[in-house]
């Protein structure tokens, strides 16, 4: 028998593990400088407990390498039989920084889907 309090406790633990990682309405997660495993946990839970069909791992600039790490660890280590990398897009936008200099910032979107 499942104890209601146990479920609540589990839920709290999970929230703790993915602390500060926000999942957008379109099932995308934006990679920043929170602890690495928070992002992995957020992605894994999205497939396992939220039953999502697809999730998009997004990042800009130096966080692009990290987004690839998150996608790889989530699919190869935790979701081996459940999720795969479906699509990868890269892009960039040019804008003026505070010093008035034109700079270009790259971005990546990695779509993970059910196997």
Binding residues for a second copy (CB under 8 A): 61-65, 68-69, 71-73, 76-77, 85, 88-92, 104, 106, 108, 110
Q: Cβ of residue 62: shortest distance to a second copy, in angstroms?
A: 5
* Rounded CA Rg of the chain: 16
Q: CB nearer to a second copy: give 18 or 70.
A: 70
- Which residue, 24 or 90, is less far from a second copy as judged by CB? 90
Minimum distance of a second copy from residue 111's CB (angstroms): 11
Distance of closest approach, residue 88 Cβ to a second copy, in angstroms: 4
Nearer to a second copy (CB atom), residue 99 or residue 102: 102
In degrees to the nearest 10, what's the CA dihedral of 33, 34, 38, 42?
A: -70
Comparing CB distances to a second copy, the nearer of 18 and 31 is 31
From residue 60, alpha-carbon distances to 20, 87, 103, 111 in Å are 18, 17, 13, 15
Tokens 């040019």 correspond to what residue? 94
The answer to whether the beta carbons of residues 54 and 86 sit under 8 Å apart is: yes
Output the smallest distance, CB 2 to a second copy, in A.
Answer: 34
Neighbour-count burial for 26-35, b at 16+ CB within 10 Å, e otherwise: ebbbbbeeee
């Amino acid at each position: 028998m499942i104890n209601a309090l146990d479920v609540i406790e589990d839920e709290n633990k999970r929230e703790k593990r993915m602390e500060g990682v926000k999942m957008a309405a379109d099932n995308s997660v934006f990679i920043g400088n929170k602890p690495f495993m928070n992002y992995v946990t957020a992605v894994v839970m999205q497939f396992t407990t939220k039953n999502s069909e697809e999730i998009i791992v997004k990042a800009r600039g130096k966080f692009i390498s990290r987004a690839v790490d998150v996608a790889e660890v989530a699919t190869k280590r935790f979701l081996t039989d459940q999720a795969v990398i479906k699509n990868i897009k890269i892009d960039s936008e040019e804008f003026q920084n505070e010093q008035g200099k034109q700079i270009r910032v790259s971005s990546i979107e990695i779509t993970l889907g059910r196997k």
